[in-house]
Amino acid sequence: MWMAIGSLSFLACGVLIILGLVSLIKKKGTSKKLFLYSLACFVLSIVAFAANPTAETETADAKDEVVSAKVDDTSTVKADDAAKQEADQAAKDKADQEAKDKAEAEAKVAAEELAKKEAKAKEDSVPREHKSALKKAELYAETMQMSKAGIYDQLTSEYGENFPPEAAKYAIDNIVVDWKENALKKAQTYAETMSMSDSAIYDQLISEYGEKFTKEEAQYAKDNLK
């Protein structure tokens, strides 16, 4: 409504101004009155436009749209920043993990190399006779299934290998053998080739003049004979 009044008033103002100019040119004497009317119409149109609620609503809507656009832009910027920070953090975590894995792998290789060097240095420091005693002990253990004590006696015996005690001790300390399994194999041989009883086999295994296995090793052999 106010918009219509304002529009009509503004249109009337223009018409009155034109009529006033025509009256002024023709000197009819009504130009002054027409100009006053046109001024009144102009004022009325200004008041009508100012009182128009649609304009206020449109202005408010425009303001709301601007605010909303700013909020949307801010949210988008924040979302982009969060995504960038997340991507940067993921890349950093990946790089850190790769660096950690690489460091661990390098440390493992270095440890293995050091262990090899230490083992070689230790082996190089062992006297030749000690190494020979160890090889001979391994041969007796694997081929004749002898006990620890039996191998030591054989290595040091003047009628056997005649190694010095320290070489024989080195061999016994460094040989890797399952002595219980050796006792079982020896017991199985006695049982199959000599048809001995379990008790006789046990006695032969622990005898000072026999195999010289420990009582625990001999009992394991006796309990597992087939």
Q: What is the pLDDT of residues 147-186, one digit of tens each?
A: 999 999 999 999 999 999 999 999 999 999 999 999 999 9
Q: What is the pLDDT of residues 184-223, one digit of tens each?
A: 999 999 999 999 999 999 999 999 999 999 999 999 999 9
Class of domain 128-223: mainly alpha
Please report where in the chains the tokens 């030749």 appear, as a residue. 128
| DSSP 3-state of 157 | coil
Per-residue exposure over 81-97, b if at least 16 CB sit within 10 Å of its own CB, e if not: eeeeeeeeeeeeeeeee
Cβ atoms of residues 126 and 166 within 8 Å: no
pLDDT of residue 109: 93
Amino acid (1-letter code) at residue 89: Q
Give percent helix, percent strand, percent coil of the chain, each to the nearest 5. Answer: 85, 0, 15
pLDDT of residue 31: 66
pLDDT of residue 202: 98
CA distance 25 to 18: 11
Rounded mean pLDDT of 89-111? 93
**Backbone CA torsion sign across 19, 20, 26, 30:** positive
Distances from the Cα of 213 to the Cα of 32, 109, 148, 152, 197, angstroms: 145, 42, 7, 12, 17
CA distance 208 to 159: 17
Rounded mean pLDDT of 108-112? 91
Distances from the Cα of 79 to the Cα of 26, 73, 89, angstroms: 73, 10, 15
- Predicted TM-score (pTM) of this structure: 0.51
Tell me the domain boundaries of the chain.
2-51, 71-125, 128-223
Amino acid (1-letter code) at residue 74: T
| DSSP 3-state of 191 | helix
